Amino acid sequence: MTLSRILLCSSLVASTMFAQNLIQTAKDAGLVALPADKAELNKLIEDSSPDSKAFPTTDKRVELGKKLYFEPRISKSGIISCNTCHNLGLGGVDGVPASTGHKWTPNPHHINAPTVYNSVFNSVQFWDGRAAHLAAQAAGPMTADPEMAATPALVEERLNSMPAYVRMFKDAYGEDTKITFDLITTTIGIFERTLVTPSRFDDFLNGDEKALSKDEKKGLELFINEGCTTCHNGVNLGGTMQPFQVAAKYKFADVGDFKGDANGLVKTPILRNIHLTAPYFHNGAIWSLKEAIKTMGSVQLGIDITDDKAESIATFFNSLTGRMPAITYPMFPASTDATPKPELDY
């Protein structure tokens, strides 16, 4: 065997050992892959949904939930849907610092819309963690005056006025089903359970050593060694309540009045598809991912992350951009004479 072939074989062995060690290191740091097996993934989704035992996922419920997710008539004006602020074509966000709602009203607290993709795996919903699951989250924007500005009674009346929706609910839940606000939000949550995006990062943790590039592996190693997994861990690399401004003050803390929950805890942003979800932080004050990484180093970890290290970690984040589910925009039932008219309040 020639020297060049010996060196090549040695390099391949070293590369393989590094990848295997990095996979184990990542797991030891609390990073969890989405299962490659479809049945295992579906089980994880159901197990992550507190209401799944009472309302298991079925194809008809998912399809109905999709219609409701895109349905603008569940808003007071008849022009705002869940997809307005959580646009499935834009990484599940709206791409602006603070969402805009009814009467073109900006969010009064200057809150940035978190992504809906993979949100089923969050331990809580909303930046302050006030909702325990997706159905509870869906109720909030529908009834918030600066968002969709509807009332439960109005949403129920609109959907019950359309025979096609009445039929769809019966097909999804049984002939005795009544369209209630709680069932509407539950159904939207069932659709949102399916918005899961497995990525090359999952392939890597599941054993595909070639799924990440050399530079992405270097960035992952830095991500772990710099301490980022302290908060960004689990299957979503985030999604749990954590203290904020641990080591220093966030320089844009005064943009908006959001202070977290009663204990000052904030839901850690998930890092899946992070390259698609700018601007960053609860108030959308930072547009550059490198700047966001450096800010987290100083605010949370009390360290100086250099430009080169931030670039490397951002390169690793490329592997978290997932394979998006195919979403076909739905066609909606026609309104009837009994359907309450849009209330624009202009």
346: confidence class by pLDDT, cuts 50, 70, 90? confident
Tokens of residue 60, six digits: 């008809």
* pLDDT tens sequence across 158-171: 999 999 999 999 99
CA-CA distance, 276 to 114, in Å (whole number)?
A: 11
85 annotated as a binding-site residue: yes
Q: How far is CA 211 from CA 216, 217, 222, 320, in A?
A: 9, 10, 18, 11
86 annotated as a binding-site residue: yes
Rg (CA), the chain: 22
296 annotated as a binding-site residue: yes
Query: Hey, do 23-36+198-320 and 42-193 end up sharing a CATH topology, with the first three levels equal?
Result: yes
4: confidence class by pLDDT, cuts 50, 70, 90? low
Q: Are 332 and 67 contacting, i.e. CB atoms less than 8 angstroms apart?
A: yes
CATH superfamily, domain 42-193, is Cytochrome c-like domain (1.10.760.10)
Q: What is 23-36+198-320's CATH number, 1.10.260.40, 1.10.760.10, 1.25.40.20, 3.30.565.10?
A: 1.10.760.10
pLDDT at 12: 46
228 annotated as a binding-site residue: yes
220: confidence class by pLDDT, cuts 50, 70, 90? very high
Give the number of other CB atoms < 10 A from CB of residue 5. 9
11 pLDDT exceeds 50?
A: no
pLDDT at 312: 98
Angle between helices 134-143 and 152-160 (to 10 degrees): 100
Tokens of residue 330, six digits: 């739905």
The residue annotated as part of the active site, out of 40, 63, 71, 147, is 147
Of the given ranges (4-13, 174-183, 246-255, 295-304), which has the lowest mean pLDDT? Answer: 4-13
* pLDDT tens sequence across 53-73: 999 999 999 999 999 999 999
Q: Are 142 and 74 contacting, i.e. CB atoms less than 8 angstroms apart?
A: yes
**Domain boundary assignment for the chain:** 23-36+198-320, 42-193
82 annotated as a binding-site residue: yes
Of the given ranges (36-40, 131-135, 275-279), which has the lowest mean pLDDT? Answer: 131-135
Q: Are 138 and 189 contacting, i.e. CB atoms less than 8 angstroms apart?
A: yes
32 pLDDT exceeds 50?
A: yes
Element (DSSP H or E) covering residue 105: strand 105-106
156 carries an active-site annotation: no
pLDDT at 1: 63
pTM, to two decimals: 0.93
Cα–Cα–Cα angle for 295, 115, 297, nearest 5°? 15
184 pLDDT exceeds 50?
A: yes
Average pLDDT over residues 4-14: 54
